[in-house]
């Protein structure tokens, strides 16, 4: 998830059960805790879609609609 009223640096949020993390788009640094398997899946997704995440962050900052990013298959 990304929020229109969110703050820099560019990042996204991920939720798993009662856990929530934020992931910096520039370098993938994670703030928060996820179980290992969920964390690995988020990391894999991030690595596959980093360029799209940058584009969506820029769209959000311009208050424009984001483009959906495909989930892991």
Ordered by start, the domain boundaries in the chain are 11-61
Position 73 pLDDT exceeds 90 = no
Q: In this predicted model, what pLDDT tens digit does every residue of 2-61 receive, in sequence order? A: 999 999 999 999 999 999 999 999 999 999 999 999 999 999 999 999 999 999 999 999
Nearest CA to 49 out of 23, 20, 19 is that of 23
Q: What is the pTM of this model?
A: 0.92
- Rounded Cα distance, 22 and 28, in Å: 9
């Amino acid at each position: 998830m990304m929020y229109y009223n969110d703050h820099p640096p560019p990042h996204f949020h991920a939720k798993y059960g009662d856990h929530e993390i934020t992931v910096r788009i520039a370098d993938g640094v994670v703030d928060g805790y996820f179980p290992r398997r969920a964390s690995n899946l988020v990391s894999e997704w991030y690595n596959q879609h980093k360029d799209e995440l940058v584009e969506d962050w820029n769209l959000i900052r311009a208050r424009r609609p984001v483009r959906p990013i495909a989930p892991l298959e």
